Chain A
Amino acid sequence: MNRLVWRRWKSRIMVGLMIGAVVVAVAPLLLILGTLVARGAGSINLAFFTQLPVPAGETGGGVAHAIVGTLLMVGVAGLIGLPIGIGAGMFCAEYPKNRLATVARFVADVMNGTPSIVIGVFAWTLIVAKQKHFSGFAGSAALAMIMIPMVMRTTEEMIKLVPHSLREAALALGYARWRTSLSVVVRTCLPGIVTGSLLAIARVAGETAPLLFTALGSQFMSRDLNQPMAALPLTVFTYATGPYDDWHRIAWATALVLIMVVLVLSLLARIATRQRFDVRQ
């Protein structure tokens, strides 16, 4: 065969293979979402959101306890993690050459790569082992620790996108540094910071591993952060690995709810970022 013809064919074959790769890579998302809807949607009704689980073997019941638990734990994690993450990100952006900023950036990268199960072990030794009981608060602490480096890095990136000229304009008006930072710089990139926070919340709302031996999970409604607490991802795990068919049904439905929460949060965040903030320069 002519060499040039072969080379052209080779190019075509490789492109064909790559298109195949695109199809294979896109397929899992559609398959997973499709199965979730197919197997989970049927079990979702009002009772599913408002009732507690029934004893094993019986059918019916809901995951109200897990919804409340996830909301509470993620909420508290946000209350702890967002101020620290945003504050640390602001520090890195305001004082970029400060040695603390360099250290914090490096540490945040390390923490971002740390497996969440390891953070779970840390929260266990730090809180559960010392209090001698499992608690929703220990779960919140673990989730907060996962949020902090994520939020910190996005905050810094977003602040850096604000043109320096805006900062100078505010300083030239006599604004003190704190006012310049808060009411002009951070205010300008607030949509970006909100996006980063939403993504971090979405990420930790789906986390299971750090809750396994901190919040532990529960079959009861618990609003006390000092007690073991249920969460949607824990419920999926427990029910999926359990022996009963009805549990599997609930696992699918819970997973569907969980993924809706996570995807809606991520989509919201992405749409917000796409619009970006209008800094005309």
Chain B
Amino acid sequence: MSATVLEPDSWVDLYADYLYNYALARVSDPEVAKDLVQETFFAGLRSAANFKGNATERTWLIAILKRKVIDHYRKINSIKGKAEVRIQYKSSNENEGEWLEEQVADPYSLEENDAIENEELGLAIQDCISKLPKKQSKVFTMKTVEGLETEVICNELGINPSNLWVMIHRARAALMGCLNENWFRS
């Protein structure tokens, strides 16, 4: 396996959106998320010499971003940042027999799984979009994510509507092929 070489010049193009969504899922403030991504790039550049080349660039940047998210919660001194697990065994008689097993999260509760699943889905979709040809992914995200009008996109990119629909079609077909079948259960 050849070692990965870092190419900071293309970081913003390749990973900014991916890192941004990852951060946004954790801090839920767009401005903070943006700052964290920027800081991640800075830190990446600073410590590029330490990169050993046995992870992909993106994995490495995500690892840095994770630290940045934790730092962020420490800095704002939030409850999350101070989190530690404390479990008290109840001493009163009426709660006798309530052991640890009964205090863990309800495995049948769907809510928190939804959030995790949606995040995984988001990252899977982004992975697939990043594999599209550049122009296709541009047209597709303008249309689907930004929700722009066909006319606006055509004007901006200098294409005609039938070009646009052909590109949208190719992009959607490619995404259907790329996204794991598991996502398509009805």
Are these two chains actual partners, yes or no?
Answer: no
Question: Which chain A residues have a beta carbon within 8 Å of chain B's beta carbons?
Answer: none
